Amino acid sequence: MLLSVFERFKIKDRLLLPIVQGGMGVGVSAHRLAGAVARLGAMGTIASVDLRRHHADLMAATGRSRDRALIEAVNLTALEREIVQAKALAGGHGMIAVNVMRAVSQYPDLVRKSCEAGADALVVGAGLPLDLPELTAEHPHVALIPVLSDARGIALLLKKWMRRQRLPDAIVIENPRYAAGHLGAPDSATLNDPRYAFPRVLEETLALLRELGIERERLPLIVAGGLHQHAQVRDLIGQGASAVQLGTPFAVSTEGDADAGFKRVLLDAGPDDTVTFMSAAGLPARAVRTPWLMNYLDKEAKLQGKAKAKDCTVGFDCLQQCGWRDGLAKAGQFCIDTQLAFALKGDTKRGLFFRGSEALPFGRAMRPVRELVDYMLNGVVPAPASAAA
């Protein structure tokens, strides 16, 4: 457990450090990272998509298979194992959340399995999770946390959920201007829209909560995207945020579940080394300008020009709508599961490396999560002697 100069915040009667580790797929945040963060008294998040890639026996059973039912079944087994291991590492501290993207085909099964396997919270983004209260009705102790980007989206979701007598247990507000991975804006042209700026979203959302008669403590607001300095945490908590969520800085921590080569690509990328593009899921995304991505972007217009429906590359149809499989010309024309799996293993030539746009708290150094959390919450700069890698 760690102390914080800021007050803890409450989710479902549990007091947590005001820092959250965001879910990162494929396999970038699994049990090791989520468990280490929770052990400190914070919320750690397992990304649920294609977790079999961390389990040699499950990959041996499905690596070459195109049997969708089999791949989906082993991915549920992998998710259960990861939740159990993360909870054991956490030792009863903090919270273990599971991130499920609304856009993935297995969304309802991943939600159900997470609840059954003992997840403390579900964090759902990449689409509006209007049906989450119904899907989890038998598990009222599991906290529900949607990821949204502006006050308009928050108002829409709150009003729909309130008609079913349910409130979220927290909301993640992710700014697409800085965040990594899939972004909550309709396209790349609108990423810098002022409606996503934290001061504006916080102010408008706090006004909305007052209008709807929801107490501020009942619905903690967690801001995410580009946060890398202690002073930013102080400012945002001063503006009404209950906690901050970080992705990229946790991905490159010692306990991050991806290969060391993955972390090196993110650590070495400077401010001009990220790019936004359309993902196969039909959402804008941000990643490092690696050789594979730049090569793909050179050919994107041509590929989009001849887009047509085809079989899923991997055979498990991970996405409900896939630009590549379904021949949707406006979306990305590649198999995102394959490219993210290359990145997880540190394959710098073929991988797709999601990364936020901003600098990292410790520059190019890889450090343990304890030092990251202590720096972000308390401003404690670790001694150079403990610098790793």
Name the residues that contact ligand FMN, by CB under 6 A.
22-25, 28, 47, 49, 99, 101, 125, 147, 174, 178-181, 224-227, 245-248, 251, 354-356, 358
Give the nearest distance from C-beta 45 to ligand FMN in angstroms. Answer: 7
If one asks whether residue 314 binds ligand SF4 (CB under 6 A), the answer comes out as yes
Residues 151/171, Cβ–Cβ less than 8 Å: no
Q: Which stretch binds ligand SF4 (CB under 6 A): 20-28, 71-79, 260-268, 318-326?
A: 318-326
Tell me which H or E stretch contains 301: helix 291-305
- The entry of ligand FMN, ligand SF4, none near residue 202 (CB within 5 to 8 angstroms by kind) is none
Give the nearest distance from C-beta 297 to ligand FMN in angstroms. Answer: 19
Give the nearest distance from C-beta 379 to ligand SF4 in angstroms. Answer: 41
- The entry of ligand SF4, ligand FMN, none near residue 373 (CB within 5 to 8 angstroms by kind) is none
Cα angle, residue 217 at apex, residues 215 and 223 outer, rounded to 5°: 115
Give the nearest distance from C-beta 233 to ligand FMN in angstroms. Answer: 12
The region, left, alpha or beta by phi > 0 then psi within -120 to 50, assigned to residue 33 is: alpha
Measured between alpha carbons, how far apart are the two ends of the chain, in Å?
A: 25
DSSP letter at 242 equals S
- The entry of ligand SF4, ligand FMN, none near residue 280 (CB within 5 to 8 angstroms by kind) is ligand SF4
Q: What is the DSSP secondary-structure string of 156-167?
A: HHHHHHHHTT--
- The entry of ligand FMN, ligand SF4, none near residue 335 (CB within 5 to 8 angstroms by kind) is ligand SF4
Q: What is the DSSP secondary-structure string of 74-113?
A: HHHHHHHHHHHHHHHHHTT-SEEEEEEETTBTTHHHHHHH
- The entry of ligand SF4, ligand FMN, none near residue 37 (CB within 5 to 8 angstroms by kind) is none
Determine the distance from the C-alpha atom of residue 96 to the mean position of all C-alpha atoms in its chain, rounded to a whole number. Answer: 13
Residues that bind ligand SF4 (CB under 6 A): 280, 312-314, 316-319, 322, 324-325, 335-337
